[in-house]
Amino acid sequence: MTTTLFTFLGRVPKKEGRYRVTRYDFGDGDLTDPVAFFGWPLAQRLRPDRLVIFGTTGSMWDHLFEVDQNLGSQLEEERLELIKATESKSVCREHLERMEELLEARLECEVRLRLIPYCRDEAEQVELLRRFSCQYVKTLFDALF
């Protein structure tokens, strides 16, 4: 059976050019390394077969590839483009598609990066629920077959 971790990427305030970080305790008394994205220590702890990260066009996508994960110079131009798009809150599907394979190799699991609406009104909230229900059905189907 395939295990899938669904997680959300928000945007925390930056201080001195960096996103705010925190450490997490999963109840065993050991604190994680400081991170800005909760999904990293959670994925490290659960070791899913598939990781799906949901975020808006203004989520801190740049952080996924610049701080918590040391990727060296891999896809450097694409990452710089993503940084600019994150700053202007204009990240698009193409930015994210280029990065999925890079994270898959690093995390040793399937990775999907998905844009979601901001949910500022009822229509955007319904759209979010529709996307989740479609993703859930697809994940269930993939696990069964």
Could you tell me which of 112, 1, 116, 106 has the C-alpha nearest to residue 50? 112
**8 A C-beta contact, residue 35 and residue 21:** yes
Task: Please report, rounded to a whole number, the percentage of residues in the chain having pLDDT higher than 90.
Answer: 48
What was the pLDDT predicted at 89?
95
Look at residue 143 and tell me whether its pLDDT is greater than 70: no
Confidence grade of residue 51 (pLDDT, cut at 50, 70, 90): very high
- Read off the tokens for 38: 């909760």
For the chain, which residues make up each domain, given as ranges? 4-144
The pLDDT value given to residue 141: 59
**Model's pTM, two decimal places?**
0.84
d(CA 99, CA 92) in angstroms, rounded, equals: 12
Query: What mean pLDDT do residues 117-137 have?
Result: 83
The label of the residue with tokens 């994940």 reads: 139
Residues 9, 61: contact at Cβ < 8 Å? Answer: yes
| Confidence band, pLDDT 50/70/90 cuts, at residue 32 | very high
- What is the pLDDT of the chain when averaged over all its residues? 86
